Amino acid sequence: MTSTPNSDLDVIEFVQQLLDRLDEDDVSAEAMTDAFSLLADRRRRLLLEVMRTYGEELTLPDAAEEVAIRETGHTVTDIPAERVTEVYLSLYHDHLPRLVDAGLLEYDQERDLVAPDAV
Please give the full DSSP string across 51-77, using - where no structure is assigned: HHHH-S-EEHHHHHHHHHHHHH-S-GG
Do 71 and 58 lie in one domain? The reply is yes
Residues 6 or more apart in contact with residue 89 via CB below 8 angstroms:
none
Do 52 and 19 lie in one domain? The reply is no
Structural domains counted in the chain: 2
6-36 pLDDT per residue, tens: 666 688 888 888 778 777 777 787 888 888 8
How far is residue 57's CA from residue 51's CA, in Å, rounded to a whole number? Answer: 8
How far is residue 81's CA from residue 61's CA, in Å, rounded to a whole number? Answer: 11
**By residue range, what is the domain housing residue 85?**
41-119
Do 50 and 35 lie in one domain? The reply is no
Do 15 and 46 lie in one domain? The reply is no
45-83 pLDDT per residue, tens: 999 999 999 999 999 999 999 999 999 999 999 999 999
Do 34 and 65 lie in one domain? The reply is no
Do 69 and 85 lie in one domain? The reply is yes
Assign residue 105 the CATH number of its domain: 1.10.10.10
Q: Please report how many Cα atoms fall inside a 13 Å half-sphere around the Cα of residue 60, on the Cβ side.
A: 21
